[in-house]
Structure 1
Amino acid sequence: MRAAVYYGPNKVEIDDVAEPEPTPGTVKVRVGFNGICGTDLHEYYAGPIFVPTQPHPLTGQELPLTLGHEFSGTITAVGAGVSGWNEGDRVAVEPIYKCGHCGPCQAGNYNVCRQIGFHGLMSDGGMAEYTVVPTSMLHTLPDDVSLELGALVEPMSVAYHAATLGDVHPGDTAMVFGAGPIGIGLWFALRGKGLEDVFVVEPSPTRRAAVEALGAATLDPAAVDVAQLIADHTAGAGADAVFDAAGVAPAVATALACVGSRKPMISVAIYEKPLETPLLNLVMNESRIQGSLCYTGADFEAVIALMARGAYDTTGWVTRIPIDDVIDEGFEALHAGKKMKVLVAPTDSPGVDPSGANA
């Protein structure tokens, strides 16, 4: 079968590899679509970062391996001892490997497991025609949720988890900094939680236009004084929650200038450079910074339910490509800012069409 195999920086090849077969407690999935994540880009251009160069403690795998941790598909075979899952079931995959015995796992917060692993980063993943996953990773896709949307459940769950940590409610004012895929996902999540008053702050005209087309209210930080606008808009109270999905110092500084007293800035970005945190501002405002990592199964189920209600729209920001175009139309196009979100269709099997038909 064809698979996008990562060998190291600037080296991903579409190889012909052995087709995997299910083992006890696992299922074999024909991949419908697999999203290229920002983490994949970091691995391609600057890695290995998360991809292990020696056997991972939970998966036993190491470089080289097949990428892909944002994917959906259809079960084609089940391993010994598997019950409750059958051939033909359509699924989204929650790709976390967890130890189950560290402090966070014991507390139910397995998304911050001390030995955390990801299918497609610490094991062979979904950027392939087939992959094998434990049943603990499976979430059923309703008939009215396409495989295309199913492949977006993972990144949208990252955003939904962050939105939940913001502890927002209908009637609140929220702000999202950055209109990449996670920023767009935050806007969808906040709207799904009943918020009407949500501003997306984004300097890129292309990204602003994309999220505006979905219905979002946007602010250009180069054109307006964002902090003053929010102060005026909220009669001086500030935003009830701000979310940083940009990961750059100017966005963080502006976000902290906008957040209300005793309210949070939820940080869901990956910061490539150290940031100076204005602790005095936090003290004087009694505001706080809350980190957000990944998701849990509850976030997956909430996103899938919202998708079934029609709350997510891929128009204008999601592009589908065949696996043979992964480098030029995937990694390179995303790195150059020519595309926002790319879904790879690894197979030509019936029911999986990169054009979207019967997806």
Structure 2
Amino acid sequence: MRAAMYYGNSKIEIVNVPEPSPGAGEVKVKVHANGICGTDLHEYYDGPIFISPREPHPLTGRAMPVILGHEFSGTVAEIGGDVTEVSVGDQVTIEPIYRCGECRPCRTGHYNLCTSIGFHGLMADGGMAEYTVVPVNQVHRLPESVSLGLGALVEPMSVAYHAAALGGVGNQDSALVYGAGPIGIGLWFALRGMGLTEIDVVEPSPERRAAIERLGARTLDPAAVDVPALIADRTNGDGVDAAFDAAGVAPAVESALASIGERRPLISVAIYDCPLPTPLLSLVLRERRIQGTICYTADDYRAVMALMAQGHYDTTGWVDTIPLSDLIDGGFTELRAGRRMKLLIDPTA
């Protein structure tokens, strides 16, 4: 079968490898589509970062080279012994977290914070291949009304949903989302699914503003508008109930903290390339807080799939599919240059 094998910084090759076979407690999936994640870009251009060049991961026993891909959907092709939760032919999406089950986060249900956490497609061969094998606890059956194409987006949309839930907002609240990339779009969908109608998406790129506006979002251009002043005027100085940073740059953090009300959170869902100054005075004087967020749990997957089944997510204008053979030039290069929003890989092409 064909697969995208990662050998280190700026080195990915489309190779032919044997099809994997499932062992006890495992499921073999015929991959329909696999999304390119920002993590994949970081590994290619700046890595290895999460992928270990030499030390096998404690939960998977794997080190580089590995097949990339952790955002994917597909059809169950074969099941290993002791698997009763799914059947051959089921359409599924994958929650790609490996967890130990023994550390305190795992014992308390927060396995996204497992002290030995691993990811399919980073610490084990992933979904940028025609087939892949995963533990059955990573498999979620898709609702009948959710297509396999949409199913490949459950993972990134669950990242956004988990972050949105940490904001603690309800249908009478207001929010700001910084960044209109895939996670920013996912935050907007998640907040809408939680009943919010007062949401502004702050994005300097005209193309990205246009893309999310076509979905129905309200946007602000931070180059043209003083966002904190506008929010202060609109809310009589109260500020918004939560802000979400999916931009990952210092100006976004500064603007967000100046726009939220007292005792309200800024949820940080971005990966920061450079250290940011800590605005302690802003936090102290208004009892604001910065809340980190990472990944998701099965609850987030179920919530996203339920919203998808209701027709809540729209991929028009921001999601495209390319062949596996075009992964670097048509995928990584285009995404890094900002010419594409979200790309899914077809592993059969």
> Structure 1: how far apart are the matches of 2:77 and 2:106?
31
Q: For 1:169-248, what aligned pairs fall within 5 Å after superposition?
A: 169-248=170-249
Match for 2:181: what amino acid? G
> Structure 1: how far apart are the matches of 2:213 and 2:13?
36
Deviations 1:209-243 (A, max 9, x none): 11011000000000001001111111111010000
> Structure 2: how far apart are the matches of 1:347 and 1:73?
12
Aligned-pair distance for 1:81?
Answer: 1.1
Aligned-pair distance for 1:84?
Answer: 2.4
Aligned-pair distance for 1:180?
Answer: 0.5
CA RMSD of aligned residues (A): 0.7
Match for 2:221: what amino acid? D
| Pair 1:330 & 2:331 matched | yes
Which residue of structure 1 lines up, in the alignment, with residue 132 of structure 2?
131
> Structure 1: how far apart are the matches of 2:280 and 2:80?
53
Asked if 1 retains the 8 angstrom alpha-carbon contact of 2:34 and 2:128, the reply is yes
Partner SS, residue 155 of structure 1: helix
Partner SS, residue 298 of structure 1: helix
| Pair 1:13 & 2:13 matched | yes
Asked if 1 retains the 8 angstrom alpha-carbon contact of 2:86 and 2:141, the reply is no
Partner SS, residue 152 of structure 2: helix
Asked if 1 retains the 8 angstrom alpha-carbon contact of 2:5 and 2:68, the reply is yes
Q: For 1:234-273, what aligned pairs fall within 5 Å after superposition?
A: 234-273=235-274
Which residue of structure 1 lines up, in the alignment, with residue 52 of structure 2?
52
Q: For 1:131-170, what aligned pairs fall within 5 Å after superposition?
A: 131-170=132-171
TM-score by length of structure 1 reads 0.96
Paired residues, number: 348
| Pair 1:67 & 2:74 matched | no
Which residue of structure 1 lines up, in the alignment, with residue 2 of structure 2?
2
> Structure 2: how far apart are the matches of 1:122 and 1:259?
38
> Structure 1: how far apart are the matches of 2:236 and 2:308?
35
Partner SS, residue 169 of structure 1: coil
Consecutive unaligned residues in structure 1, runs of 5 or more: 349-359
Aligned-pair distance for 1:322?
Answer: 1.0
Which residue of structure 2 lines up, in the alignment, with residue 26 of structure 1?
26
Partner SS, residue 29 of structure 1: strand
TM-score by length of structure 2 reads 0.99
Deviations 1:61-82 (A, max 9, x none): 0100100000000001000111
Asked if 1 retains the 8 angstrom alpha-carbon contact of 2:174 and 2:240, the reply is yes
Deviations 1:172-211 (A, max 9, x none): 1101000010000000000000000000000011111110
Which residue of structure 2 lines up, in the alignment, with residue 356 of structure 1?
none
Percentage identity across aligned positions? 66
Partner SS, residue 140 of structure 2: strand
Partner SS, residue 159 of structure 2: helix
Partner SS, residue 28 of structure 2: strand
Match for 1:200: what amino acid? V
Aligned-pair distance for 1:102?
Answer: 1.0
> Structure 2: how far apart are the matches of 1:75 and 1:319?
24
Partner SS, residue 44 of structure 2: helix
Runs of 4+ in 1 over 3 A off after TM superposition: none
Deviations 1:10-64 (A, max 9, x none): 1111100110011100010000110000000000001000011220000000100
Match for 1:39: what amino acid? T
Deviations 1:283-313 (A, max 9, x none): 1111100001000000000000000000001
Aligned-pair distance for 1:106?
Answer: 1.4
Which residue of structure 2 lines up, in the alignment, with residue 353 of structure 1?
none
Aligned-pair distance for 1:319?
Answer: 0.9
Match for 1:85: what amino acid? V
Deviations 1:303-332 (A, max 9, x none): 000000000011110010111111111111
> Structure 1: how far apart are the matches of 2:213 and 2:184?
12
> Structure 1: how far apart are the matches of 2:86 and 2:227?
50
Deviations 1:320-357 (A, max 9, x none): 01111111111111011110100001126xxxxxxxxx
Match for 1:239: what amino acid? V
Partner SS, residue 236 of structure 1: coil
> Structure 1: how far apart are the matches of 2:196 and 2:119?
32
